[in-house]
Amino acid sequence: MSRAYPAQSPVPRRLRATHLRIIGCEACPRLRSYCREVAQTRRAAFRDEVYWGRPVPGFGDARARLLVLGLAPAAHGANRTGRVFTGDGVNGSGDFLMRAMMAGGFVNRATSHRTDDGLVLTDAYIAAAVRCAPPDNTPLPSEVQTCLAHLEAELAALPDIGLVVVLGRIAYDAYRRLLARRSARLPAAPFAHGHFVDASATGMPSVLQSYHPSRQNTHTGRLTDAMLAAVFLDARRRIDEAR
């Protein structure tokens, strides 16, 4: 590979192997074609940069107890930088998420612009339901299904995860599908911001639901800084009480 993937050190061997399998995945031709096209044409503001242009693995603390599950890389964000929720611009989804996670003590800085910015996650790991940027930010159901294998592999390499914060309905549905693959099902529950879904009976991590920090949600006031921070404060309380 011409460019190393932006992992947070240290990365245990099993997790690193999982990352490399994700990066090399070619299972969804539509997504791979779109990511390569974006990486070649680039946005004018980034015309001098070399885009990542490949599937994006998760990022964070290998001993995390909290998994944050988003939707997919942004075409000119993580598809450019190679790190989830990174490079979406000032006050983009990455910054919005980091501010909230910082409130819960999960990150050391409130911005996520570059892979060399010094961002460190503590007790948290961030991944996406789909690992390639989809056209119009909308993956096909079949693409979400295909990507479940990567989420399953990362979870298997992160043995301490006890809680999942899902960012948006697609992420929630992806996690539900993953549990179904393991013959486990979440209790019937509607999707609602801040709602807790107890999965303890399944032997899998329980879920906190949140709206996704997309500009569509944050710029309209559907999701505010205080609302998202409250989710991560709740997450902190729950994982600390579970010790």
Q: Which helix (H) or strand (E) holds 26?
A: none
Phi, psi angles (nearest 5°) of residue 170: -65, -40
Domain count, the chain: 1
Asked if the structure places residue 8 within a domain, the reply is no
pLDDT of residue 183: 86
pLDDT at 106 over 90: yes
Q: What is the CATH number of the domain that holds 129?
A: 3.40.470.10
| Domain around 130 | 13-241
Asked if the structure places residue 1 within a domain, the reply is no
pLDDT of residue 185: 85
Tokens of 122: 């503590």
Asked if the structure places residue 2 within a domain, the reply is no
Tokens of 113: 């612009």
Scored b (16 or more CB within 10 A) or e, 122-158 reads: ebbbbbbbbbbbbeebebeeebbebbbebbebbbebb
pLDDT of residue 2: 45
Asked if the structure places residue 7 within a domain, the reply is no
Question: What would the pLDDT profile of 44-93 be if each residue is shown by its tens digit?
Answer: 999 999 999 999 999 999 999 999 999 999 999 999 999 999 999 888 99
Question: What would the pLDDT profile of 6-55 be if each residue is shown by its tens digit?
Answer: 889 889 999 999 999 999 999 999 999 999 999 999 999 999 999 999 99
pLDDT of residue 40: 96
Asked if the structure places residue 5 within a domain, the reply is no
Question: What would the pLDDT profile of 158-205 be if each residue is shown by its tens digit?
Answer: 999 999 999 999 999 999 999 998 888 888 888 999 999 999 898 999
Contact status, residue 101 vs residue 157, Cβ threshold 8 Å = no
145: which DSSP letter? Answer: H
pLDDT at 1 over 70: no
Scored b (16 or more CB within 10 A) or e, 85-94 reads: bbbbeeebbb
Contact status, residue 47 vs residue 99, Cβ threshold 8 Å = no
Question: What would the pLDDT profile of 110-156 be if each residue is shown by its tens digit?
Answer: 999 999 999 999 999 999 999 999 999 999 999 999 999 999 999 99
Asked if the structure places residue 47 within a domain, the reply is yes
Asked if the structure places residue 23 within a domain, the reply is yes
Asked if the structure places residue 3 within a domain, the reply is no
pLDDT of residue 3: 67
